[in-house]
Amino acid sequence: MTGEPLSGVVRRVALPQRTVDSRLIVVARAQRAEDYDAVLEVLIDAGIRSLELTLTTPGTFDRMPQLLAQFGEVADLGIGTVTNAADLARAVDAGASYLVTPITSSAFVEQATDAGVPIVPGGLTPTELFASWSAGASAVKVFPAGQVGPGYLKDLRGPFPDIEVVPSGGVDLDGAAAWLAAGAAAVSVGGPLLGDAFAGGDAVALRDRAQAFVEVCAR
């Protein structure tokens, strides 16, 4: 594959097919893990099929068994904001569908790949993104995507034509369409979709926003 080291084949674990097909990852950053249930139910009912649960939400690991039992048959549940090897191992053990980290770490990529779990490391510069991709990342997260815009992907594809990119950070509805049109594998969306959902916001409005993103990201 173009852009990969010449010495041998890079091991790469593919993202779950539901995530690939939906082209949309919703980042669920709650105040408490108990708040996940009601919001995820609305999102999944609206057609969301891939959710990243963040470790900045206290109790995420403890809540995973219940969430997987409730939603695991219809949606991929990843674990994000992974910033150390111990949490990565715990996320694997918890049954995460995929892992997301805001940083560039070939060690994390190797650890996740050894465990057979997809991983999407973050980065912004070409050096960071290529380091993760060439190490075997499932895709690379351009973060914060709002600082560069969809045109950045065209520039990256010049030297790295095969790189799989997931923009994250400030991606709104129009931005999602533009990034996907530019060739992003998927978009990672938080605030512009969730709004005040974790602060008691209107469930109908949340469903409407989610359905709008699902429609934009549909192939």
Calpha distance 30→50 (Å, rounded): 16
Number of domains in the chain: 1
Residue 1 lies in a domain: no
**Domain housing 46:** 17-217
| Residues annotated as catalytic (active site), given as ranges | 52, 141
Chain segment 160-176, per-residue pLDDT in tens: 999 999 999 999 999 99
- pTM here is 0.94
By three-state DSSP, how is residue 195 classified? coil
Residue 197 lies in a domain: yes
Chain segment 41-66, per-residue pLDDT in tens: 999 999 999 999 999 999 999 999 99
Preceding peptide of 144 cis, ω within 30°: yes
Calpha distance 190→204 (Å, rounded): 17
By three-state DSSP, how is residue 40 classified? helix
Residue 9 lies in a domain: no
Residues 6 or more apart whose Cβ sits within 8 Å of residue 99: 78, 79, 80, 82, 88, 91, 92, 108, 112, 117, 118, 119, 120
Element (H, E) at 49: none
